[in-house]
Each structure stands twice: as C-alpha cells, then as structure tokens.
Amino acid sequence: MRAIDFSRQTRDERCLSDLALDRLVAGEPVDAALTTHAADCARCSGRLDEFRRARAFDAPLLDKLRLQGGSVVPLKRRVRLATMLPLFAAAAILLLFLPRLFRPSGEREKGMSTLALDVVVRHADGHIEALAPDGRVRAGDAIRFLVTTPRPGHLVVLGLDAAGTVSVYVADGDQPLPIERGRKQAMPGSIVLDATPGAERLVALECDARFSVANAVDAGRRSLERAARDPRRVSPLDLPGCQEAALTMDKSQ
Amino acid sequence: MDQASMEALYRTYGSMVLRRARTLLGDEHAAQDMVQEVFMKAIRAFPGFRGESSLTTWLYQVTTNHCLNTIRDGARRRRALERRMPTREPVAESAEDRVGVDELLQQLPRELAEVAIYYYVDQMNQDEIATLLGISERTVRNRLRDFKDAARDRLDPDGEKEAAG
C-alpha cells in the first residue's frame, strides 16, 4: 500500500486519470479521445493493463469477500453496532438481505484459532487458483499471500528455496508488517517467481512483539542448512513468542 | 435490482473499490470491510441511481464518502481508546506516514479532503472533479488551494502560503 502524496499530481496533464482508466476497464462508453489516448500512450496503456491485471488478480479475494458478505459482520462493525443501537435495525435487515444475495446455502465462516497461510497463484496464462500443498508453479507466475490470524501481531513471510536462499516476501522494510486479527487478509503486492527450480517453503511467521526481519532470515537460513537445503524437510523456525504457518510449492522453469 | 445485476456490479467494480479503499485507508482488513460496506450501500441506493453519471463515477463517490467516514470515525475511536489506555505503545515507525495522511483527512473540512482525494489520489483533473461533484472548476481550484494552505499549515506552520489564484 502506498502512502498518499499530497504535494503533487504524479500524472502528466495529458494522461488519463484513474477515473478514466477505471471507466475503460469497466467497459463503460467513454469519449473516443480517451480510448485513442489510452491506445497510443505507453504510460496509459501500461496503467490500463495494470488495472486489468489487478482486477483479475483480486477476483479470488473478491469472491471470498462476497461469500462472507452478510454471513458474519466483521468485528469492527460488531463493536460499532453494540454501541450504536439505532443502527441495529438497519443492520439486521441487511443481514437478512445479504445472505440471500451472495451466500450459497450452508456457507459458514470457519474459526480462526491459529495462524494460516493461503497462497493465490496467477499463472502466466492468466489462470488464477489457490495453491495446494506441494502445488506446482512456474517461473513467471505471480503469487499473493492471504493470512488468517486470530490475534494482532507482527508478520513476515519468507521463502526458503532449494538454492539455499531465504527471500523476504512480506515485511515492512527491515521490520515485520503489523497485522490485525482477521481472515484471509491479502498482503500487499504480489511476487513474480524467478527461475530457481525445485521446492520452496513459504513460511509465515507472526510474533506478539516487533522483531528483526534479519533475525528471522537467519533462523530460516539455519533451518534450511539443518535440512541439507531441502525445503520440504525444513523444521519450524521456533522463534519465541511467534506462531508459524507454512506451505511448500514446487517450482519448475 | 435483481441478483444477476448485483453480481455483475460486484464483479465489474469490486476491484476498483478495493484498490481505492486500500489506498485511502492504508489497511487491508479495513479495505476488505469497506468493499462489503460500499456494495451494501450501493445495492440499497441503486433504485435511486438515475444514471446521470456513470456507475464508476457514482461508486467513486460512495467509496470516497465511506472511507472518509471511516477515517474520521477512526480518529474518534482512537481518541476514546487512548483516554482509556494511556500506556498504549507508540505508533510504529512504519505507520508514521499513514498517520500524517489520516490526520489531514480527519482534520480538514470534508469538502477539501474530498477534492484532495480526487486530485492527488485519483489523479483527476479539475474539470473531472467539477463534473463529479457538480461544482464549478473555480470552486475546485479554490478548494485545492485551501487544502494546500491548510496542509502546509499543519506540516510546516512557519512556511509561507501560496498566493491565491
């Protein structure tokens, strides 16, 4: 997530605004000049592609949100409702209304007693799917992390690969990323996989207190060495005050 | 609005709402909540949508209004929480920029915050903002100038004000 720069506009005056790009993505009728500009301008056509890719990439997350819609009121909203009784009646109507709109019968929110890591893969051909344990991916595929946690904390996601490298996929610079409690929270950004073949262990590490990402990387490296650089045999990093969730993927070129 | 239309609305515009909510709220969980909130509102309000603007434009406004409400409610809740929890840990360094953004959007008059969002976040030109908000370009210019002055006052109280124009 980027900070907002309130000091200047970053686009060229001739280029299209986000609103214009969003209208093009949505397929709404727009002035022909906008369509022509989007086709002719490298920056705008690039951003248009970016918006379209984001739309495809967000689709699984939006499906999940839709399934949750109305089935469970998010915690923050529950708190607000408890203190704002006049809104309760309206909310109750919505709760009755929304499940009929979106939720398949029998769908229930599962509990979230421990940290869980889900990975969504966008393959090079545009197909998007959830990564199964030991699921196959290829160089050039993009992955995105969804983290479920029952408590707020500080998170990193590391990749331990067959070349003995420990990569930091989710962090906030050299610090872990603060995370709230919640289900399937999409982590910022996506990772395009490189050409290193073989297994890669993806480890989400969430701790009560802030910690050094460098220490977590060292722990990952030690664990990988202990496993003779076989990511499938890596044992938990066992950092104090932390919980872990992990998933292995199998990467081919 | 039938179910197929709701599905189509959500599939077509969900990602756009999510992207803007992420940027404005700076918090993934809150942004996901916001998607649900915006579409609840959109579904309820849709019968009154007269098609005078595009659906994209309309959802931009709904999202902006809800995000501003959330940011401003958040400030009120945080103040209440801080009164109850005076020993709370200081804000993490990584969130400092975010706090600056939130403070601006919380403290400045809503009409200035709104114009600033469309101009700086959505990179809209003054003509587009004027059309979206149903105000004149001159009013947009004035609000942007007021926003810059107010932001500068908060960030650099000793700095000089930009000449009006």
Instruction: For residue range B67-124, list pLDDT tens digits in order.
Output: 999 888 766 555 554 544 433 333 333 444 454 677 778 888 899 999 999 998 899 9
Q: Of all helices (H) and strands (E), which one includes residue B139? A: helix B137-155
Domain co-membership, B120 together with B51? no
A13 lies in a domain? no
> Torsion angle of alpha carbons A134, A138, A141, A147, nearest 10°?
10
Q: Dump pLDDT digits (tens) for A178-189.
A: 998 888 888 877
Contacts 24+ apart (CB under 8 A), A236-244: A237/A203, A237/A205, A239/A205, A239/A207, A239/A211, A239/A215, A241/A207, A241/A208, A241/A209, A242/A205, A242/A206, A242/A207, A242/A208, A242/A211, A243/A114, A243/A115, A243/A205, A243/A206, A243/A207, A244/A115, A244/A203, A244/A204, A244/A205, A244/A206
The pLDDT confidence band at residue A220, using thresholds 50, 70 and 90, is very high
If you compute the radius of gyration of chain A from its CA atoms, what whole number of angstroms results?
21
Q: Are B126 and B140 spatial neighbours (Cβ–Cβ below 8 Å)?
A: yes
Q: Inspect the interface and report whether the beta carbons of B36 and A65 lie closer than 8 Å.
A: yes
Domain co-membership, B29 together with B81? yes
The pLDDT confidence band at residue A107, using thresholds 50, 70 and 90, is very low
Which residues in chain B are contacts of A9 at CB distance < 8 A? Answer: 119-120, 123
Range of the domain at A58: 18-65
> In this structure, which amino acid lies at residue A156?
V
If you compute the radius of gyration of chain B from its CA atoms, what whole number of angstroms results?
18
Question: Is the model more confident about A126 or about B19?
Answer: B19
Residue B119 in tokens: 């101009």
- Cα–Cα distance between A131 and B157 in angstroms, integer? 52
Flag whether pLDDT at B157 surpasses 50. Answer: yes
**What residues 65-94 of chain B have any CB closer than 8 A to a CB of chain A?**
73, 92-94
Taking residues B59-73, what's their average pLDDT?
91
- Cα–Cα distance between A115 and B89 in angstroms, integer? 23
Q: Dump pLDDT digits (tens) for A32-46.
A: 999 999 999 999 999
Q: Of all helices (H) and strands (E), which one includes residue A75? A: helix A75-83
Domain co-membership, B31 together with B69? yes
Q: Which of B91, B108, B92 minimizes the C-alpha distance to B155?
A: B108
Residue B26 contacts A where some CB pair is shorter than 8 Å: yes
Domain co-membership, A151 together with A52? no
Taking residues B126-155, what's their average pLDDT?
90
Range of the domain at B131: 108-158
Domain co-membership, B54 together with B125? no
A110 lies in a domain? no
Domain co-membership, A189 together with A206? yes
Give me the CATH number covering residue B81: 1.10.1740.10
Q: Are B57 and A19 spatial neighbours (Cβ–Cβ below 8 Å)?
A: yes
Domain end (from B63, B96, B129) = B96
Q: Inspect the interface and report whether the beta carbons of A1 and B23 lie closer than 8 Å.
A: yes
- What's the mean pLDDT when you consider all of chain B? 78
3-class SS of residue A118: strand
Domain co-membership, B16 together with B87? yes
Domain co-membership, A140 together with A54? no
Share of chain B above pLDDT 70, in %: 75
pLDDT for residue B48:
73
- Please say whether the dihedral angle defined by the alpha carbons of residues A96, A102, A107 and A111, taken in this order, is positive or negative: negative
A5 lies in a domain? no
Which residues in chain B are contacts of A98 at CB distance < 8 A? Answer: 40
Taking residues B28-47, what's their average pLDDT?
85
The pair phi, psi for residue B132, each rounded to 5°, is: -60, -40
Parallel/antiparallel/unpaired status of strands A135-138 and A242-252: parallel
pLDDT for residue B117:
92
- Please say whether the dihedral angle defined by the alpha carbons of residues A98, B50, B128 and A32, taken in this order, is positive or negative: positive
Taking residues A220-242, what's their average pLDDT?
90
Q: How many domains does chain A have?
A: 3
Q: How many domains does chain B have?
A: 2
Domain co-membership, B49 together with B3? yes
pLDDT for residue A154:
94
Q: Dump pLDDT digits (tens) for A1-50.
A: 445 677 777 777 789 999 999 999 999 988 899 999 999 999 999 999 88
Domain co-membership, B153 together with B73? no
Domain co-membership, A35 together with A122? no
Query: Whole-model pTM?
Result: 0.53
A145 lies in a domain? yes
Residue A2 in tokens: 């980027």
Q: Which of A208, A184, A207 minimizes the C-alpha distance to A110?
A: A184
A9 lies in a domain? no
- Cα–Cα distance between A143 and A170 in angstroms, integer? 12
